[in-house]
Amino acid sequence: MKAKIFLTTIALMMLTGVSLFAQRTTDIKGSKDYPLVSRFNGSVIEWYQVKNFDRYYMLSLKDNKLQPYEIDGKVTRIQYSSQKEHSVFEIYKSYESALKNAGFKILLTLDKNNCGINLSEQLYIGEFNGLNALTDRNSIKPDYREGEFAYLSAKKKINDKEVYIVVYITNWNYPLITFDAVEVKHMDKGLVTVQNLGEGLTSAGHVALAGVYFDTGKSTIKPESQQALKNIADFLKSNTSKKFLIVGHTDNTGDFDANVKLSTVRAQSVVQELVSKYGVNKDQLKAFGVGSASPVANNSTAAGKAKNRRVEIVVQ
């Protein structure tokens, strides 16, 4: 409720140009900076929230059109305010430099020159993101198209997780900085082995292929999947008299038919990789996709959805 009140007030201020409450001079109680990236000098934390596991939508720019893609993980949101004498551009350049110095790869930068629209409505009223929908999209829809803004996203792999940083800066009476950090960690532990594949198929008839990864919404297999694929190929080549299905699964987010298509092409990608790169007999495998039709967990929770997004090997 406090978040809704705070950001509804922000939206009204941006709409009217009137300051409805005083800018804070000290950080909000219980808040702290994200440990990997320092704050812009002199700014103050106005809002702080941590979600242990949630979905988050990054932005990409293709053919001059913004497109969202989902990542899941621990999400930290910090909102800062800064002094009036600082410009959006100055704050943006400070964060860009800090991220590069910390070893992050810059993924995307947006402003009114290359974006074409101001992102405030999308970011704050929920066009792209459930967590980013900090106000009710049906209650206030101010026009932000004329304001100055900057959007910056970056990524860094640290040990067993990928850390994404998104910084959005806009200016109304004084600069407002929204800083999001998303820590993505694979939920499956370890890789499939020849032994656990055999044991799982004998006892249950199907095994989830832990260690086979895809980018969200895509069918291209990520490079870190190669050891798991090699183990799967070793198992298949030691069981050449048997045939198997490679079955793709998704959670229930989005259109059912689109999910069936995605799960099918992912299964096909696994089959193609096993045949072309690891020498598995193509007649031993068949790809199939069922979308969200066969969940192993409740899709009402983020953790359940993560378990349902999988590729399995099934005895024919």
Least Cα distance to 309 among 244, 262, 245, 258 occurs for: 262
Name the band, by pLDDT with cuts 50, 70 and 90, for residue 12. Answer: very low
What is the rounded CA–CA span in Å between residue 174 and residue 162?
32
Asked if residue 115 and residue 201 are part of one domain, the reply reads no
DSSP lists the bridge partners of residue 51 as: 75
| pLDDT of 8 | 40
Is 6 in contact with 24 (CB distance < 8 Å)? no
| pLDDT of 116 | 59
Asked if residue 111 and residue 133 are part of one domain, the reply reads yes
Last residue of a domain, one of 150, 166, 185: 185
pLDDT tens digits for range 78-123: 999 999 999 999 999 999 999 999 999 999 998 877 765 556 555 5
Last residue of a domain, one of 161, 185, 209: 185
List all residues 6 or more positions away from 34 whose beta carbon is below 8 Å from its beta carbon.
76, 78, 165, 179, 181
Asked if residue 225 and residue 179 are part of one domain, the reply reads no
pLDDT tens digits for range 21-79: 578 899 999 999 999 999 999 999 999 999 887 878 888 877 767 777 778 889 999 99
Find the domain containing 125 and state its range.
Answer: 2-185
CATH of the domain at 220: 3.30.1330.60
List all residues 6 or more positions away from 166 whose beta carbon is below 8 Å from its beta carbon.
58, 151, 152, 153, 154, 178, 179, 180, 181, 182
Between strands 310-315 and 244-249, the pairing is antiparallel
Most confident of 18-32, 110-124, 133-147, 173-187: 173-187
The structure's pTM equals 0.55
